[in-house]
Amino acid sequence: MTSSSSDVIEDAHKPAGSPGPSATLGGEQKGSIEQLTLLLFIVVPFLALLAAVPLAWGWGVSWLDLGLLVFFYYLGCHGVTIGFHRYFTHGSFKAKRPLRVALAIAGSMAVEGPLVRWVADHRKHHKFSDAEGDPHSPWRYGETVPALIKGLWWAHIAWMFDEEQTSQEKYAPDLIKDPAIRAISRQFIYWTVLSLALPPLIGGLVTMSWWGAFTAFFWGSLVRVALLHHVTWSINSICHAVGKRPFKSRDRSGNVWWLAVLSCGESWHNLHHADPTSARHGVERGQLDSSARIIRWCEQLGWAYDVRWPSRSRIDSRRNTGEGGSRQGAEAAKAA
């Protein structure tokens, strides 16, 4: 499968003409201050994640804190999977203006970087998937075990510290042209502050205590962000190194079932790379894809339209008939 307009939304790779306004505060090169900030946002939540188990064992975790963690986790996760990924990157559906803005804000609250930069990186990933030019392929250093271990580290975290940034003008000109989306992308720091501040604000008001605010910040902000980050990054690393490959793709994307619930359906990654604009990634029987379910609800409410649902014939045409056999997959496709 070659890179084409079917991989992402139309006109995404067309020349942008004269440079327009930037959709992020940084430039084309990542400076030392930005790298230090990135390191801080990786290390601090991760330390909280490591401390979460012993703290939960010794002190327990309240239902309020757990509820805040789950709510804001899935708000941000679906903002990324439905908004940043399936909508803004691949154009799997069209959205009414309020939904478009809401998805941009919800995805920004996942604290995974400005919208336009996220989309530009991902479109470049699809153009060069697991080949030279891919920003985060785990096969970057080769196929030996040591090379793959090094590559997994690169694909999971290290690539984000690369000084060279993906060109927004080249890979996301359509988003730069939208003033509202460009503004939301540039205001990423404000959405980050809001994302981190809301859980302790709610926790403090509900319990009327500073301790309630602190525990809500620990669980609903730090632990939540760390968990969401590593699940998202696992799609880049784990889902391009292991997993079943029932569909034809030009890379090594695989389906990793045990990440499906936490990734909101993104870990059915082989189908995604076989059919990038599909609004549903979990197309086999029993493959949970909460992102596709929410898109369906938005369609029924009239908020989303022109949704690219995969037909049975489209699924079958992308099925891998070689190694691994397709009989079981074909049967599942009939039931899809």
Q: Domain residues of the chain, as ranges?
A: 32-246
| pTM > 0.75 | yes
Mean pLDDT of 19-34: 67
Q: Give per-residue pLDDT as tens, 130-153.
A: 999 999 999 999 999 999 999 999
Lookup: tokens for 265: 């359906």
pLDDT confidence of residue 19: 55
CB 250 within 8 A of CB 320: no
Give 178's pLDDT tier (boundaries 50, 70, 90). Answer: very high
pLDDT confidence of residue 192: 98
Residues 6+ apart with CB under 8 A from 152: 138, 237, 238, 241
- pLDDT of 25 strictly over 90: no
Query: Which of these, 193, 9, 178, lies nearest to 94 by C-alpha position?
Result: 9
DSSP 8-state secondary structure symbol assigned to residue 222 = I
- How many Å apart are CA 151 and CA 144, to the nearest integer? 10
pLDDT confidence of residue 330: 38
DSSP 8-state secondary structure symbol assigned to residue 309 = P
pLDDT confidence of residue 144: 96
Question: Tokens 């930037």 appear where?
Answer: 22
Give 86's pLDDT tier (boundaries 50, 70, 90). Answer: very high
pLDDT confidence of residue 31: 73
Q: Which of 29-33, 169-173, 200-204, 285-289 has the lowest mean pLDDT?
A: 29-33
Q: How many residues does the chain have?
A: 336
Mean pLDDT of 299-312: 97
Mean pLDDT of 182-194: 97
Q: Give per-residue pLDDT as tens, 29-70.
A: 677 888 899 999 999 999 999 999 999 888 889 999 999 999
Coil, strand, or helix at residue 53? helix
- How many Å apart are CA 268 and CA 280, to the nearest integer? 9
Mean pLDDT of 300-323: 91
Mean pLDDT of 219-239: 98
Phi, psi of 285 (to 5 degrees): -60, 130
DSSP for 77-146, written as a single string: HHIIIIIIIIIIIT--SEE-HHHHHHHHHHHHTT-SS-HHHHHHHHHHHHHTTTSTT-TT-TTTT-SSHH
Give 333's pLDDT tier (boundaries 50, 70, 90). Answer: very low
pLDDT confidence of residue 21: 65
Q: Give per-residue pLDDT as tens, 239-298.
A: 999 999 999 999 999 999 999 999 999 999 999 999 999 999 999 999 999 999 999 999
